C-alpha cells in the first residue's frame, strides 16, 4: 500500500477498499505514515466524502486500533448513549439511572468538558470520592451487580481516532460528516455495548448548526451502527439554548437531582424521557409506546432516584450530597444579571453562554486548568418568556471576582429580546432509527 496512491484515488473521488483503510489506519497509529500525508488525505475526504461502506470500515479500523471492551456477558441488553456535546447537558446523570432502573444495562464511558461544552466525567467528580476510573473487571462487576457504571474513557480506547482528531483540529478538517461520524462511532463500537443511542445536538451551542446537517450526521452514524451489527438510533435535539437552567458542574448535578426527585425544568425532563425511552426500547425489546410508559413510570415512582443513589455510592461518591445538595457549597461571588429592556426572550446563544461559564471557572481554558465545581450560571429565562426591564435573567456563580463583568457582558449580548411575542420552540426535532 502506498499512501500516495490512496491520496490520489480519493482526490479523484474514488472509493477506498477495506484493506486500504485498515492498513492505512494501522500504519498511521504506529507512526509509519507522516502527518503531512494523512492531512492531505483528510482534506481529500473533506471535499470528496466517503461512501457508507468506506465510513463503516474507517470506523471499525479506528475502533479496533486499541483496547475494546467485551460486554458479551450482558447479551443484547447493554446500551450506551452519546451526546455530540452541548451546554447544560446533564442528561446522562438522569437517563442512565432511569434506564438501568427500568431493566437496561448501562455500561458507559464518558468524556470531560471540551471548549464551551461540559462533560459528564467532570460533573460526576463534583461528588467527593466519586471514582471515574475503574479497572475493566471492576467496571464489569459493578455493571453485573447494579446494572450501571459510568467511567472516563480508557487511555487506549481508539488511539487512531485520538491521533486523527488532533490532526483534524489543526488542519481545518473537523467539520466533515464522515469524519465526525466515524470518530464518534469508533469510540462507541470500542466501548462494546449492543445498542447505541445518539443525542445529536443541533443549534448555536452544537457542532451541527441546522436540523438538516444534524440529520445528515445522525443518518451517517445510525448507518455505521447498523453496518457494524449494533442496534443504533439517534435523536436530534435542540441546542440553540442551554438545556435546563443550570450550566456548570455542581449546579448541573443539583438540577439533575431535582429532575430525579420529580421536579426540575420541563425541557430537560422532556429530552431525558425521550432518550431514556429509546434506550429502554432497544435494550429491553419493548415497543415505542411501552418503553415511553416505562421510562415515565420509572422516573415518577422514584425508582430512578433510588438507582442514582446506589450508583453514586457504589462508585465511591459521598451520597450525603444527594440528600443535601447544599453540601456542594456556594461560590464566593453570586451576581444577578438584569434584563435591560421589556419584551419576550427570543434566543439565548448557547455557545456564548457556555463560554461565559468557562470564564467563571466551570470549564478549562487550557488542558491543564482545574475546574471549580461550584462555578457556573443559572439561566432562569427561556425563549417565549415575557420579561420586564430589571428582571433577573441569569445568576453568575464564581470565586473569580475579576471574571464577573466580562461574563455579564457575554450573557447580555447572548440573549436577544423581542418586542413581539415569541415562542419556546421545539426540544426534539426528529428521531432516526
Ligand atoms: N466528537 C468526536 O468525538 N469526534 C468528532 O469528530 C467530533 C465530535
DSSP string, 169-207: HHTT-S--HHHHHHHHHHHHHHTT-SEEEEEEEESTTSS
pLDDT at 207: 86
Indicate the pLDDT class of residue 390, thresholds 50, 70 and 90. very high
Question: What's the CA-to-centroid distance between 181 and ligand 1, angstroms?
Answer: 7
Pocket perturbation via mutation, ligand 1, pick of 112, 165, 189, 190 by most ligand atoms within 8 A of CB: 165
pLDDT above 90 for 26: yes
Question: If phi over 0 gives left and psi between -120 and 50 gives alpha, with beta otherwise, what is residue 330?
Answer: beta
Q: What is the DSSP letter of 103?
A: T
**194 catalytic residue (yes or no):** no
Pocket perturbation via mutation, ligand 1, pick of 116, 174, 183 by most ligand atoms within 8 A of CB: 183
How, if at all, do strands 333-338 and 392-398 pair? antiparallel
Question: What pairs with residue 335 in β-bridges?
Answer: 396
- Identify the active-site residue in 140, 162, 163, 168: 168
Query: How far is Cα 362 from Cα 213, in angstroms, rounded to an integer?
Result: 29
Query: How far is Cα 354 from Cα 374, in angstroms, rounded to an integer?
Result: 15
Count of CB atoms situated within 10 Å of the CB of 89: 30
Please, are residues 276 and 256 in contact by the beta-carbon 8 Å criterion? no
pLDDT above 80 for 20: yes
Q: Give the closest residue to 241 by CA, choosing from 334, 344, 346, 339.
A: 346
pLDDT at 191: 96
- Identify the active-site residue in 77, 81, 82, 116: 82
How, if at all, do strands 376-379 and 343-348 pair? unpaired
When pLDDT is averaged across residues 60-89 and rounded to a whole number, the result is: 96
pLDDT tens, residue by residue, 106-163: 999 999 888 889 899 999 999 999 999 999 999 999 999 999 999 999 889 999 999 9
Q: Which domains does the chain have, with CATH numbers?
A: 3-49 (1.20.970.10), 72-323 (3.40.1030.10), 330-418 (3.90.1170.30)
pTM, rounded to two decimals = 0.96
- Identify the active-site residue in 112, 187, 254, 374: 187
pLDDT above 90 for 365: no
Which residues are near ligand 1 (CB < 6 Å)? 165, 174, 179-180, 183-184, 207
pLDDT at 352: 97
Nearest atom within ligand 1 for CA of residue 174:
6
Question: What's the CA-to-centroid distance between 125 and ligand 1, angstroms?
Answer: 23
Indicate the pLDDT class of residue 193, thresholds 50, 70 and 90. very high
**161 catalytic residue (yes or no):** yes
Query: H or E segment at 42?
Result: helix 35-48
pLDDT tens, residue by residue, 314-363: 999 999 999 999 999 999 999 999 999 999 999 999 999 999 999 999 99
Measured in whole angstroms, the distance separating CA 304 from the mean position of its chain's CA atoms is: 20
When pLDDT is averaged across residues 406-422 and rounded to a whole number, the result is: 97
- 3-state DSSP call for residue 165? helix
- Identify the active-site residue in 60, 89, 161, 372: 161
pLDDT at 115: 85
pLDDT at 48: 98
Cell of 165: 482528531
Q: Give the closest residue to 381 by CA, choosing from 334, 326, 421, 344.
A: 344
pLDDT above 90 for 96: yes
- Tell me what the pLDDT averaged over the chain comes to: 96
pLDDT above 80 for 367: no
When pLDDT is averaged across residues 91-96 and rounded to a whole number, the result is: 98
Nearest atom within ligand 1 for CA of residue 111:
3
Query: How far is Cα 145 from Cα 382, in angstroms, rounded to an integer?
Result: 40
pLDDT at 421: 94
**39 catalytic residue (yes or no):** no
**2 catalytic residue (yes or no):** no
The dihedral through the CA atoms of 236, 237, 241, 246 has a sign that is: negative
pLDDT at 114: 82
Pocket perturbation via mutation, ligand 1, pick of 45, 153, 184, 199 by most ligand atoms within 8 A of CB: 184
Pocket perturbation via mutation, ligand 1, pick of 89, 174, 175, 216 by most ligand atoms within 8 A of CB: 174
Please, are residues 244 and 90 in contact by the beta-carbon 8 Å criterion? yes
Nearest atom within ligand 1 for CA of residue 184:
3
Indicate the pLDDT class of residue 1, thresholds 50, 70 and 90. confident
In this structure, the residue with its CA closest to atom 3 of ligand 1 is 184
Question: What's the CA-to-centroid distance between 180 and ligand 1, angstroms?
Answer: 5
Indicate the pLDDT class of residue 366, thresholds 50, 70 and 90. confident
For the chain, give the percent of residues with pLDDT over 70.
Answer: 100
pLDDT tens, residue by residue, 256-307: 999 999 999 999 999 999 999 999 999 999 999 999 999 999 999 999 999 9
Query: How far is Cα 23 from Cα 29, in angstroms, rounded to an integer?
Result: 10
pLDDT tens, residue by residue, 369-389: 889 999 999 998 999 999 999
pLDDT at 325: 96
In this structure, the residue with its CA closest to atom 7 of ligand 1 is 180
**Residue 111 burial by Cβ neighbours in a 10 Å radius (0-12, 13-18, 19+):** middle
pLDDT tens, residue by residue, 31-48: 999 999 999 999 999 999
Query: How far is Cα 59 from Cα 378, in angstroms, rounded to an integer?
Result: 38
Question: What's the CA-to-centroid distance between 84 and ligand 1, angstroms?
Answer: 7
In this structure, the residue with its CA closest to atom 6 of ligand 1 is 180
When pLDDT is averaged across residues 401-405 and rounded to a whole number, the result is: 98
Q: DSSP of 305-371, one letter per residue?
A: HHHHHHHHHHTT--THHHH-GGGG---SEEEEEE-SSSEEEEEE-HHHHHHHHIIIIIS-SSTTPPP
**82 catalytic residue (yes or no):** yes
Amino acid at each position: 500500500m502506498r499512501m500516495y496512491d490512496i491520496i490520489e484515488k480519493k482526490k479523484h473521488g474514488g472509493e477506498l477498499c477495506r484493506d486500504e483503510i485498515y492498513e492505512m489506519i494501522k500504519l498511521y497509529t504506529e507512526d509509519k505514515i507522516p502527518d503531512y500525508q494523512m492531512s492531505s488525505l483528510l482534506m481529500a475526504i473533506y471535499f470528496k466524502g466517503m461512501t457508507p461502506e468506506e465510513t463503516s470500515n474507517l470506523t471499525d479500523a479506528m475502533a479496533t486500533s486499541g483496547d475494546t471492551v467485551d460486554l458479551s456477558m450482558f447479551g443484547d441488553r447493554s446500551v450506551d448513549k452519546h451526546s455530540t456535546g452541548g451546554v447544560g447537558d446533564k442528561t446522562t446523570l438522569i437517563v442512565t439511572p432511569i434506564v438501568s432502573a427500568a431493566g437496561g444495562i448501562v455500561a458507559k464511558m464518558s468524556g470531560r468538558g471540551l471548549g464551551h461544552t461540559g462533560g459528564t466525567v467532570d460533573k460526576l467528580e463534583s461528588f467527593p470520592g466519586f471514582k471515574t476510573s475503574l479497572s475493566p473487571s471492576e467496571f464489569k462487576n459493578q455493571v453485573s451487580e447494579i446494572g450501571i457504571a459510568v467511567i472516563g474513557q480508557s487511555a487506549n480506547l481508539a488511539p487512531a481516532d485520538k491521533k486523527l482528531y488532533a490532526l483534524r483540529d489543526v488542519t481545518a478538517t473537523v467539520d466533515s460528516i464522515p469524519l465526525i461520524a466515524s470518530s464518534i462511532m469508533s469510540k462507541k463500537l470500542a466501548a462494546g455495548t449492543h445498542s447505541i443511542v445518539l443525542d445529536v445536538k443541533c443549534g448555536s451551542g452544537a457542532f451541527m448548526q441546522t436540523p438538516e446537517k444534524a440529520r445528515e450526521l445522525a443518518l451517517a452514524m445510525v448507518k455505521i451502527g447498523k453496518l457494524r451489527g449494533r442496534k443504533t438510533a439517534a435523536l436530534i435535539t435542540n441546542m440553540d439554548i442551554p438545556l435546563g437552567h443550570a450550566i456548570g458542574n455542581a449546579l448541573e448535578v443539583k438540577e439533575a437531582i431535582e429532575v430525579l426527585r420529580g421536579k426540575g425544568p420541563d425541557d430537560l425532563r422532556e429530552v431525558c424521557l425521550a432518550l431514556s425511552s429509546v434506550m429502554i426500547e432497544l435494550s429491553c425489546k419493548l415497543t415505542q409506546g411501552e418503553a415511553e410508559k416505562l421510562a415515565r413510570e420509572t422516573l415518577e415512582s422514584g425508582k430512578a432516584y433510588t438507582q442514582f443513589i446506589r450508583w453514586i455510592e457504589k462508585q465511591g461518591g459521598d451520597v450525603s450530597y444527594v440528600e443535601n445538595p447544599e453540601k456542594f457549597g456556594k461560590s464566593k461571588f453570586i451576581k444577578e444579571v438584569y434584563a435591560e429592556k421589556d419584551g419576550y426572550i427570543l434566543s439565548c446563544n448557547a455557545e456564548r453562554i457556555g463560554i461565559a461559564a468557562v470564564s467563571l471557572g466551570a470549564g478549562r481554558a487550557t488542558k491543564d486548568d482545574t475546574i471549580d465545581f461550584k462555578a457556573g450560571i443559572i439561566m432562569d429565562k427561556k425563549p417565549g418568556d415575557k420579561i420586564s426591564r430589571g428582571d433577573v435573567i441569569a445568576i453568575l456563580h464564581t470565586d473569580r471576582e475579576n471574571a464577573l463583568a466580562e461574563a455579564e457582558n457575554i450573557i447580555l449580548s447572548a440573549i436577544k429580546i423581542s418586542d413581539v411575542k415569541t415562542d419556546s420552540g421545539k426540544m426534539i426535532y426528529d428521531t432516526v432509527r
